[in-house]
Structure 1
Amino acid sequence: MRVHDLSGGDDVLAHVETVARRALRRYDVAPDAAVRLINVSENATFTVDGGGVRTILRVHRLGYHSPEAIASELDWAGALRAEAGVRTPRVIPARDGSRIVTVETPGADTRQCVMFEFLPGGEPPHDRLVEDFEPLGAITARMHLHARGWARPPAFTRFHWDLDAAFGASPRWGSWRDGPGMDAEARAVLARLEARLRDRLGRFGTGPERYGLIHADLRLANLLVDGEAGTSVIDFDDCGMGWYLYDFGAAVSFIEHDPRMPEMIASWVRGYRSVADLPRVDEDEIWTFVMFRRLLLVGWIGSHSAADIARELGAGYTRGTCELAERHLATP
């Protein structure tokens, strides 16, 4: 299992903040800029306020992406903004023009940092999820159309979100079997779910009409809704090759139990089809991808105990996954 590198507690977080402050020396930022940690999930994300300007600084975790892979992420996010009308944050280069700043700390690690513009907006309100899933479907379709036709740079490299990444010998987010609160009964139910998912996805296939470059983490926290600017898409850190419908599964992360799921699915599909084709046979597999993402998240919670949401959800998420799995397995 890959253990999150920020799981070492306050000492590690203090070190990461030191890295962030070292990185700022490379930017045109006021020396007295205020640096505040706002999120620890995979990477550490800071707001930087100085000279009346706010920016976002991301300090990358260790061992997840190479500098080439980070550059590839930035390339696609920039191309989406320039070519597909998808609002994404611009990268703010360092004084020497670098998009990625490498920070070395004596006797410790070397980390990559990226600075982004600060975009307005906030997470979609939960009382408007059905309505907001329609424009999300349209945005997702624009991203998928762009991915299908985009000429990737020669050095482009990103990982895959396939069955091996989910359930192979070294799952990218850790094994669901190590999820919190896992007991023999839960393992039995979720093993049946994994077998069902392997079968469905094996038959669904990875043809180019169904599998390609995706955001892979379009959950609500990575959408910024603003009344004037519209919806922005942030945090492409997990983008890679995967099933296009996985982007819907990711969109409902942590809310898969919401009783409005049928309406949210219908709204998303309606928005998607306003931009691109979505065959009915593909639509019929949406719940396959909801459960695929859910099972990955059980492993993620187990291997990311330092993340706020992992601590909050804990064993309850495993129990809820078993309940959803039972219902899913009862469906022909």
Structure 2
Amino acid sequence: METTRPALEVDGIAKRYGDVVACDGVGFTVGPGELFGFVGGNGAGKTTTMRVVLGVVEPDAGAVRWAGAPVDRAARRRFGYLPEERGLYPRMRVLDHLVYLAELHGFTTNDAHRDAERWITRLGLRGYRETEVQRLSLGNQQRVQLAAALVHDPVLLVLDEPFSGLDPQAVDVLSEVLRERAAAGVPVLFSSHQLDLVERLCDRVGIIRAGRLAACGTVAELRAGSGSTLVVDAPAARPGWADGLPGVTVLGVRGGRTRLRLADGADDQPVLAAALATGPVRGFTHQDPTLAELYRDVVGTTS
């Protein structure tokens, strides 16, 4: 069966700042039309990796390839980038700002105006098109920054915390936009601390810890071998009733519901018996572990 060549290849990149190791052999691929979520704690290496992809930072080792070839300036000119920090000119009006950026990417003035107006409308900024960026709320500034990443019809999107500061309605709009871009064949690489969004949106996820890629795959692949989550609704159960049960880890207790992690092959019947021994059980449900739970497992156990 013929396999599709990855659009973006990050191959063993390393970057050190003095004694601080920002990236240590980070490698992954993003295919055409794939949504790839990049997650990790502050200082784990996400932003440095993205800056290497964009050519903002030169790696000490490793390579970045686009469509099988080393990434050059011409290729990067067609990438769309949203930095975590604000990268806008505060005194420019929104429309002028986007037109200017589209022209920098080679658009004619007419085409730049057309696409700027399109993204202003798409991202809910019609009422602010003549407003200076500095007069916008932080959430609307983030919308402008998103429009700036999209206005030149990029072939790759690299977005560092794109959902930061957005209200729920704007999150829904951006989620739809990312799906649309992916459906059009555009690879999307984005980082986020909002793991529920990453789980919902992404085809694959990379978890980075201390500069190294600790895990990578679909959420289903990350779940393999992680055991299952068991939710026991036993409002009368005494505190600590599940402590010490073989193959069981208590994840949390809230409102009479206890969330447990069962190791692979662990029997759930002793759990049920222990809960019943302290009172009635109203619910006993197996659930797949969330990405947040998988992330905590990886970050807490990977060296």
Identify whether the pair has TM-score above 0.5, normalized to the shorter chain.
no
The structure richer in helix per residue is 1
TM-score, length of structure 1 as denominator length = 0.24
The structure richer in strand per residue is 2
TM-score, length of structure 2 as denominator length = 0.26
Max radius of gyration: which structure?
2
